[in-house]
Structure 1
Amino acid sequence: MNEQTLSEVQWDDLSAFLSVARTGGLSAAARSTGSSAPTLGRRMRALERTLGRELFVRRSHGYDLTDAGRTMLAELEGIAGRIERITARPAGDVPPLVKLSAGTWTTLVLVRRLSDLVNDPQDVRIRFLAAEDILNIGRREAVIGIRNRQPVEKGLAGRKLARVHFAPFSAPGAPDGWIKVHADTPSARWVASNSGDSIAHEVSHPRLALDMALSGVGRVILPTFIGDAEAGLQRAGDPVPEISHDQWLVTHDDDRSLPEVRRTIDRVVRILGRGLK
């Protein structure tokens, strides 16, 4: 087969050819592939037309290979073996991987609730992608994303979870100076706009701001589900309504019915869906 012909043939069709060639008939191949015998018959005829050669002699007892068919089978067996080795699951019962993207604070909560996400016995692996930027689910940078707005991209499905509120927090007796976070988030922008000259310290990542607040060196804006859960912090002012937002769970239409994705979605909803306390 030349390169142009190969570009016109899908691997699924070549895999179906292998099944028919190895079993010698449509019925046996149908059982191994999950396709119907008539469907396989049509695909084999279409494959022959695309390749411009007869691959089978169709007899009452089954499908016999022509010389061209035997040559193609021999060529494909080596390719198929390499593909099967490349795509084989690792040894042992390894749970499927789900990439989950969320901001710093939601990721922190989900990490702390990891046992509720992966079940016991474990039936899914989670790759946490903590990022303030929105990852591209359409390009599978993440499979599940937790966002602060409803998705508008074509092919994405969204589910509203809960309303997230923010307030200032500090350790008892801490000075009033703000801990400024250099990040493109609503809370960081609010502090930059409203702190004036009252900046105690600056950090490059939101998680560092929590650690500094716990050390008693200043005030920080946190989601109330984070600040209220920290025994070493207390509210240092009223909630800031202008940076409250809804939380959305987002995934791709093509992925959300996958068993491991469906299970993870259901568990995330149970953790986040009624608000974080």
Structure 2
Amino acid sequence: MIEKNMDWNDLKFFLAVARHGGLSAAAKQCQRSPATLGRRMYELEKQMQQELFIRQDRGYLLTTDGQKLLSELTQIEALILRQTSPSETSRPLVKISAGSWTTLALIQHLDEFIGSPPDLLLRFVSEEKKLAISHREIVIGFRNQRPTEESLVCRKLAKVEFAPYSTKNAPNCWIKVIANTPSAQWLDQQKHLDIICETNTPRNSLDLALASKGIAVLPTFIGDTQTSLHRVDNIIEELSHDQWLVTHHEDRYLPEVRRLIQRIRLAMEPA
């Protein structure tokens, strides 16, 4: 279907129009006017002697030939990206960004994520701050809010809840985390609580709680898995939030990204 003398820019424009389902959003990505993209799509159809789109008032729908072209180009695109991306292994590298607690939970599912036999190389980037998926700092990110960037796509995962945890023998003192996170800010506002110590790393608050040094505010998906810890009070409702799995709308078509997203969903979505 794809001929040697085709203009590859037109094929890239086709991918944008096909994935966005119209000209306006694709024009922003391609930095061309909608009129220019519309004209180039007509030229591409004329060159291929095939109708690729069903043009409607609300957007562009792919014909059967258009869907075949999208499938072929997606495979070619994935091969190009794989060949042009530096890698120390034959397995494709996928970078995942998440906060300390989500990273800790993800690590528990490492064997499920990399496949059997392993077909992915994962790089965990544990950051409390939000890294730029649109700039390809990472490929997949976990966020506490639904993204607003047009270039990103997302899926809601399980709700995240927090509660205070300690061992049965721990003193009635609290472990304070110095970090720019909602749970750390909440604890900082509780002026009446007795603080036993401070740490600038969220993970260390778990270690201190396990060592019976005090009470730590932990997500329930971490605290409930620790057999030596128990909840000393109810869920802190103001810290509850949805969690979103986010990636770039183009990267989601890469085979390795699609595999990993499916595996994450199976492991972490609510039943």
Q: Say yes or no: TM over 0.5.
A: yes
> Is the Cα contact below 8 Å between 1:101 and 1:144 reproduced in 2?
yes
Unmatched segments (≥5 aa) in structure 1: 1-33, 44-85
Residue in 2 aligned with 1:161?
157
Alpha-carbon distance in 2 for matches of 1:90, 1:259 = 16
- How many residue pairs match? The answer is 197
Give per-residue Cα distances to partners, 1:6-60, cap 9 Å, x unaligned.
Answer: xxxxxxxxxxxxxxxxxxxxxxxxxxxx8414527xx9xxxxxxxxxxxxxxxxx
Aligned with 2:227 (options 227, 231, 235): 231
Deviation at 1:231, TM superposition (A): 1.0
Which AA in structure 2 matches 1:165? E
User: Secondary structure, in 3 states, of the residue corresponding to 1:164?
Assistant: coil
1:185-239: CA deviation from partner (whole Å, max 9, x where unpaired): 1111111111435101100100000000000011010001100100111111000
Q: Residue 25 of structure 1 corresponds to which residue in structure 2?
A: none
**Cα 1:87–1:156, aligned 2, differ >3 Å: closer, same or farther?**
closer
SS at match of 2:243: strand
Please list every run of at least 4 consecutive aligned residues from structure 1 whose deviation after the TM superposition is greater than 6 angstroms.
88-91
| Gaps in structure 2 of 5+ consecutive residues | 11-82
Q: Is the 8 A contact 1:165 1:224 kept in 2?
A: yes
8 A Cα contact 2:183 2:217, kept in partner: yes
AA in 1 matched with 2:169? G
SS in 2 for 1:260: helix
**What SS class does the counterpart of residue 256 from structure 1 fall into?**
helix
TM-score (norm 2): 0.69
**Which of 182, 189, 202 does residue 186 from structure 1 map onto?**
182
What amino acid sits opposite 2:251 in the alignment? D
Q: Distance in 2 between matches of 1:120 and 1:179?
A: 40
The answer to whether the 8 A contact 2:87-2:93 is kept is no
Q: Is the 8 A contact 1:178 1:195 kept in 2?
A: no
CA distance in 2, matches of 1:106, 1:97: 20
Alpha carbons of structure 1 residues 252 and 170: separation in structure 2 relative to 1, 3 Å: same
Rounded to whole Å, the distance in 1 between the matches of 2:164 and 2:87 is 48
Output the CA distance in 1 between the equivalents of 2:201 and 2:266: 28
Structure 1 residue 156: Cα displacement:
0.4
